[in-house]
Structure formats: structure tokens, C-alpha cells
Amino acid sequence: MRKPAKLVLAASAVAMLLGATLAPMSAYAASAEEGKKIAEDRKKGNCVSCHAYEGADMPGNAAPPLVAMKARYPDKAKLRAQIYDPTKANPNTIMPPFGKHGILSDKEIDAIAEWVHTL
């Protein structure tokens, strides 16, 4: 068996011993990937127009770079709240309140929060 196959097998065994399944991880990956698509969509999130992040094509610099997001937002709910309505934390922000103004759906905001949390 090749090493990657052994790692997958070992991870599966550990997950089963802990009573978990691998489905939530694949659902998380799908949600994060969808979040990236929404964030980069110029008609939706358009995060790249203001934020720089690894792999961004021609990022803006009007907002903080999206780096070390798990360290900056250990509580993913706070990150989601920041995307939903950043005016609660900073009334003078230039970031649009994506949820409050109905720019993005709750599902889209959840997906973006999942993706941003991976950065």
C-alpha cells in the first residue's frame, strides 16, 4: 500500500473509533469550496476587490488581508457575524453588510465563513 492510502485508512480507523464519520469533513470541504466561488464572484461576495489572500488574482488592498483567520477568529460564529453585518463591530466600516442588506443568503454567508476560516 502506498503511504497516502495508509494515511487515509488510518484516519478512517481513528474516525470510526471515535464514533465519527468522514462525511462531515467532505461536507465542510464542499462548503468551503463553494464559499470561495461565491467570495470570488464579482456579482456576489467580490471579496477580492478589497481583500488580499493567498492565490487571489489582482486583490485589492482597502481591507485587511485574509491571513491567519483561525487565529484571528477562533470562534467561527464571530467570523460569520462579521461577514453578515460588519457595522455591528465597526459602524464606520466600508465593508458591506452582506446579510443585513440581503446581498448574500444565509447559506452563502455560511459557505464564505467556512472558506475564510481555512485561510
The string of pLDDT tens digits covering residues 38-81 is 999 999 989 999 999 998 888 988 999 999 999 999 999 999 99
Query: Is residue 12 in some structural domain?
Result: no
**What CATH number did the domain enclosing 70 receive?**
1.10.760.10
Structural domain contains residue 108: yes
3 within some domain: no
Check residue 29 and give its pLDDT.
Answer: 63
Rg (CA), the chain: 17
pTM, two decimals, is: 0.73
Range of the domain at 63: 26-117
> Would 79 be classed as within a structural domain?
yes
16 found inside a domain: no
Single out the residue of 61, 58, 54, 59 nearest to residue 116, CA to CA: 54
- Asked whether residue 71 is assigned to any structural domain, the reply reads yes
Q: How many domains does the chain have?
A: 1
Report whether pLDDT(21) > 60: no
Does residue 8 belong to any structural domain of this protein? no
Helix (H, G, I), strand (E, B) or coil at 39: helix
Give the burial class of 45: count Cβ atoms within 10 A of its Cβ; 0-12 exposed, 13-18 middle, 19 or more buried. buried
Return d(Cα 45, Cα 49) in angstroms, integer.
Answer: 9
Domain contains 81: yes
